[in-house]
Structure formats: C-alpha cells, structure tokens
Structure 1
C-alpha cells in the first residue's frame, strides 16, 4: 500500500519566512565573512518586503500578521556585523 506523508512547510517558523522575504526584497544582506544578517537601511526595499508579505503570506497566516512578522524581524537586525572590526565594516 502506498503511504503519503504530510508535506512539511518550506519554512519551520514565521521568522525564517520573514527573513527570506527581506533577503528577496534586498532589505537585508549577509555579512560575507561571518554570516550575520545586516539591515541595508533601504526604505524602498523595506516597503517591497512589506508588500511581498501582504501579497504572499505563508499558508495559515493573515496578510497583516505576515507584514508584522517582517517588520519585527527587520527591527531585530542591526546595520553592522557584530564580529567585524570597525575598520573592516562594509
């Protein structure tokens, strides 16, 4: 007998999904040396990320909750890598 497993969502958490939306929109970037996420401080990219979140929220999440999740993740990301020395920061 053929058994089907329930398909897992692509993202385990709403935060992981929000981070991918921010990367896609260009609102954040990854430090090439250490892997920390950095806010690019681009207001247009932030607006695009919020728009993407509202238009394509993950399954079971309202558009407003998706937009809030994106904003909350972005608020928790700084604009510098905590491991880079000040003279090495991009």
Structure 2
C-alpha cells in the first residue's frame, strides 16, 4: 500500500524564510569560500526583499511581521566575511 506523508513546510523558521527572501532579492550574498552571508548594501535589492515579504508572507504570518523578520535578518548580517583576510574579500 502506498502511503503519503504530510509535506513539511520548506522553511522551519521565520528567520530561514527571511534569509531566503534576502538571497532571492539579491540583498545578501554568500561568501564563496566560507559560506557566510554578506550584506550587499544594495538599496534596491533591500526594497525588493521588503516588497516580497509584504506581498508573499509565509502562511500564518502577517505582512508586517514578515517585513520585520526580513529587517531583523538583515540587521544580523555584516558586510564582510569574518573569515576572509582583508586582502581576500570578494
């Protein structure tokens, strides 16, 4: 007998969802060598991320809470990789 499992949501936390929105919008990028997220300081990409959050929040989350989660995630991401040496930064 074929059994179907209930599908898990793609993101387990609102923080993970917010980071994925920032990546999708191009507001952050991953250090190619170490994997740390880096703020690209692109105001247009940030605006796109907030627009995505407000228009497509996760199930059960208000548009305002989704935008706040994106802002909080962005606040916790620096502009440089902490493992890269000053002359190695991408």
For structure 2, the residue ranges without an aligned partner over 5 or more in a row are none
2:7 is aligned to 7
2:24 is aligned to 24
State how far apart, in whole Å, the 2-side matches of 1:38 and 1:3 are.
42
TM-score (norm 2): 0.94
**Displacement of 1:8:** 1.2
Would you say 1:49 and 2:72 are equivalent positions?
Answer: no
Q: Match of 1:29, SS?
A: strand
Would you say 1:66 and 2:52 are equivalent positions?
Answer: no
Structure 1 moving runs of 4+ over 4 Å: 1-4
Q: Match of 1:46, SS?
A: helix
Aligned Cα root-mean-square deviation (Å): 1.2
State how far apart, in whole Å, the 2-side matches of 1:3 and 1:32 are.
40
For structure 1, the residue ranges without an aligned partner over 5 or more in a row are none
State how far apart, in whole Å, the 1-side matches of 2:73 and 2:50 are.
11
